Structure 1
């Protein structure tokens, strides 16, 4: 159930009750339950997002392999025909497929990689040295889209 700002204000002032409030449930219990439901839904959606990103990364990787293989086959075939433009369109399509961009997936995976570095830094329990500082710079570089 969603609430508007006016409905929430009325609820907090005790002037109205939401329709999905349980019998003998206090306002605090209701809000804790609703926040727990929202947190569970967020956790589920985050898990689904991580799964989709992992699948997308795997598909992108496999597609690049297949495009490379097909490109080699087309190159070999094109070298056997006399027309200079014999199969140019297929080669161009393959080249375009190889360079497909997925910025949302790339950004998410960069954050995952950088988070791993952050976890390593946190595992050091405050013991800092040049390696930890360098790791922080590297994590920031990854987040900005730098090379891995």
Structure 2
């Protein structure tokens, strides 16, 4: 009985290896439009209106908070390097704000704030902004990550 189990395991190994190969090669960066060596290509991929899916604010050490996007919250990137973003205010109103943007490598600059592009596909844009502030004499690192969908 042990030899039969060993034989069936040996026959399963190639199947498992093929499935893993397909998984890792089939789901690669085929849809990834982020090109650190071609800022113009990346800018072209960012153009358009993106809905805020979620926003994650993390402090290290500290807490992580997730804000789920609401209907009517979006950012629009225009080909002339300008854009408009609209987020819901605390009082429930929407306040569209203009911005200026530019891509250099994997960096996305909004007005004077530098962010790092994490993911860019036809349907998803993810970027993060990070920094450090002092609290009671201790350095606190913060990372704000934005997840947008077309």
TM norm. shorter chain > 0.5:
no
TM-score (norm 1): 0.30
Taking CA–CA contacts closer than 8 Å with sequence separation of 6 or more, which of the two structures ends up with the larger relative contact order?
A: 2
Larger proportion of strand: 2
More helix by share: 1
